[in-house]
Structure 1
């Protein structure tokens, strides 16, 4: 393959308190790289955990990171470097603009945030450094007012999004959640929606094969729990551990995957809780979680869009916990799948109040056997969800890369 043969793509994701943004982007990259069409793919991100999920063919432009925390007082964003917030955002915007001005991708895809954090994508988008632009959405966004304000309906921002994005790739299935109907978005925006299905494929390894693969005996009862990236999940882990301690006779083995963003003091506390029980393993991160989910008698996990897709892919008997404090996304999404009989849903306040004492024994005694494979990505090439050659038609009419290369004279 020569450079001129490859279709150039840039994938932007802002940062993340969890692994969801990174995981979704990595899956998109893997699907594109499986295509007969050669691709040159660049990732642009401030994420600082889970980057090993990316295929090795993806070149990474790492911009400075920030940490932020989901609590009732706000996001509490702070740079990880010793610099001010304003300087951080300016550096990030400058790096993004400079790179895209030179790379000039055929397709620029932004995960979830149309303008980028603190408008850091705006200069490159307005300079038209990419020929086609795609906004990828996880499905459920925010409440209706905030969603229309940030994306589609605000008199200033809505037209801007439509002017600068050809289409919106929705990584869920409309029978689970119809984004256009729920948010009552304008027709012009609804016409640009492309539902891809969940970014997960059916996990075809049998349960017995998965158990053999990870070393679980035929008669052993296995509980697996994972909280995505894990930031702010200390209270959930304490509540879950209290239930598992009290119901220790109901399972033989457990794997608890805290997430790499869990605060160090909570990570240490969880390990201390279980240090005397050799049958309970604590891992900060497990990139190969799907066999564990398939093998488990019960999976307890955060209700992020990525995790819910993997529950459907593995047919796991699952309890989903919406962990978000300030947003409704996980609550709505988990409730939709609960209503379809695909997961059990446990609200965060109820979890902290001890509801798992009742739900875990019930889930082990009366397991769900969900079949949600119809809602998954269909296994075809992701190319057809991209605008341009060999893909869907593009709604944008603006020409490619009208802006000058950064650092050169206009």
Structure 2
């Protein structure tokens, strides 16, 4: 029998939660040859995401946040209440039918507008309930803001439903969990398991055309709010009459097609060695090939850059959450990364970074990047491996005596 793990992520904006859960799913199926994973995701891209072995996905009706900061349906025409009720029913039905041994919830203790509450209430009375684990990224937001939000939404009580809380970060970098004093406030144990870097092979791609020219990569995660950074970088390239470097700007799949066309038109007018692409299948390889990276400071991209040691300039989002800003500031103090606010990202600042990065060595980090394997082994360790059925043993023995 398989050991079954259900990984939930609400995925209302960007791709970060789904990427992190997919990385953990890959570690689970690699570390446990009897492990299988069911992902539940609200990402509109979840069905097209590459999945690890013995992994499948249930896609929830998608929601997003309006400019006013409220959740709204992304595609359906009903109000948010009806869509959340539908999502809650899908989640509870999936958990009831799949009967996982462990349920890992990413980031949001009660889900979008409390969509996990019916499921949590039902399984709390189930003697065969799964082990409930909450996974939190290193930085959620400003700690005071998180504490206030959790109080207003009644989430402190929800935390007591969980058997364990894991933090996807290194204790050497101050986390929101530490600032909130979760270890003292929660009944569940709280453990920093390390950053969840993908367990991949070599990061360098075979060198292609122009490989002897230094490469600068610009990446903005999913790209939903990455236009301004990409545009600022193209302004910088336009100031060079004959750049001594080539550039690849990765817009991400969530940038609007109109905005992407604008960037491509600008790049075409520049007539420099610059390419604008929506998606790079081997982004890790591209980042590994780069001499310098200009990037937003989302969790997964920052972890990739920590892994690769590529000289990096982080340009974080600072609204509506300070998550990326805080991460950029804290990682700049303990790694090879530098950071700069978008409104200070001048042509001169970029020129200084790119010219310095071209001669800078790659630097390894002492931060723990084995979070995916660490949390996978914790989850696997909580579920004893199933005994091999007697019929299977007899069949194997019979085959040996044939």
| TM-score > 0.5, shorter chain as reference | yes
Using the alignment, how far apart are the partners of 1:248 and 1:77 within structure 2? Answer: 46
Deviations 1:163-215 (A, max 9, x none): x1111111111112244432233515386222221111587637xxx25x141
Using the alignment, how far apart are the partners of 1:29 and 1:39 within structure 2? Answer: 9
Equivalent position of 1:389 in the other structure: 383
Equivalent position of 1:185 in the other structure: 182
Equivalent position of 2:164 in the other structure: 167
Using the alignment, how far apart are the partners of 2:351 and 2:108 within structure 1? Answer: 38
Equivalent position of 1:238 in the other structure: 231
Shift of 1:373: 5.0
Shift of 1:289: 0.9
Q: Determine helix, strand or coil for the equivalent of 1:275.
A: helix
Match of 1:18 among 14, 21, 33: 14
Equivalent position of 1:259 in the other structure: 252
Q: Determine helix, strand or coil for the equivalent of 1:26.
A: helix
Deviations 1:65-100 (A, max 9, x none): 12335x5x4256343122222221111111111221
RMSD in angstroms over aligned alpha carbons? 2.7
Using the alignment, how far apart are the partners of 2:221 and 2:94 within structure 1? Answer: 30
- Whether the 8 Å contact between 2:63 and 2:71 is mirrored in structure 1 is no
- Whether the 8 Å contact between 1:150 and 1:158 is mirrored in structure 2 is no
- Match runs of 1:70-85 below 5 Å: 73-75=68-70, 77-85=72-80
- Whether the 8 Å contact between 1:313 and 1:373 is mirrored in structure 2 is no
Shift of 1:53: 3.4
Shift of 1:228: 0.2
Using the alignment, how far apart are the partners of 1:168 and 1:66 within structure 2? Answer: 26
With over 3 angstroms needed to count, the CA separation of the structure-2 counterparts of 1:318 and 1:41, relative to structure 1, is: same
Q: Determine helix, strand or coil for the equivalent of 1:34.
A: helix
Deviations 1:295-353 (A, max 9, x none): 111111110111111001111110111124111111111111111242010113323x6
Q: Determine helix, strand or coil for the equivalent of 2:31.
A: coil
- Match runs of 1:82-101 below 5 Å: 82-101=77-96
Q: Does 1:338 align with 2:335?
A: no
Using the alignment, how far apart are the partners of 1:325 and 1:24 within structure 2? Answer: 22
Q: Does 1:294 align with 2:293?
A: no
In the TM superposition, structure 1's runs of 4+ consecutive aligned residues that sit over 6 Å from their partners are none
Q: Determine helix, strand or coil for the equivalent of 1:53.
A: coil
With over 3 angstroms needed to count, the CA separation of the structure-2 counterparts of 1:368 and 1:375, relative to structure 1, is: farther
TM-score scaled to structure 1, two decimals? 0.84
Equivalent position of 1:319 in the other structure: 313
Shift of 1:119: 0.8
Using the alignment, how far apart are the partners of 2:41 and 2:226 within structure 1? Answer: 23
Using the alignment, how far apart are the partners of 2:200 and 2:96 within structure 1? Answer: 40
- Whether the 8 Å contact between 1:134 and 1:168 is mirrored in structure 2 is yes
Q: Determine helix, strand or coil for the equivalent of 2:135.
A: strand
- Whether the 8 Å contact between 1:243 and 1:356 is mirrored in structure 2 is no
- Whether the 8 Å contact between 1:32 and 1:381 is mirrored in structure 2 is no
Using the alignment, how far apart are the partners of 1:255 and 1:336 within structure 2? Answer: 27
Using the alignment, how far apart are the partners of 2:40 and 2:241 within structure 1? Answer: 44
Consecutive unaligned residues of structure 1, counting only runs of 5 or more, are 392-410
Which is worse superposed, 183-192 or 127-136?
183-192
Using the alignment, how far apart are the partners of 1:283 and 1:350 within structure 2? Answer: 25
Q: Determine helix, strand or coil for the equivalent of 1:325.
A: coil
Q: Alignment length, in residue pairs?
A: 378
Match of 2:370 among 369, 377, 380: 377
Q: Does 1:119 align with 2:114?
A: yes
Equivalent position of 1:398 in the other structure: none
Q: Determine helix, strand or coil for the equivalent of 1:256.
A: strand
Equivalent position of 1:52 in the other structure: 49
- Whether the 8 Å contact between 2:222 and 2:254 is mirrored in structure 1 is yes
- Whether the 8 Å contact between 2:14 and 2:224 is mirrored in structure 1 is yes
Using the alignment, how far apart are the partners of 1:248 and 1:201 within structure 2? Answer: 39
Equivalent position of 2:276 in the other structure: 282
With over 3 angstroms needed to count, the CA separation of the structure-2 counterparts of 1:201 and 1:229, relative to structure 1, is: closer
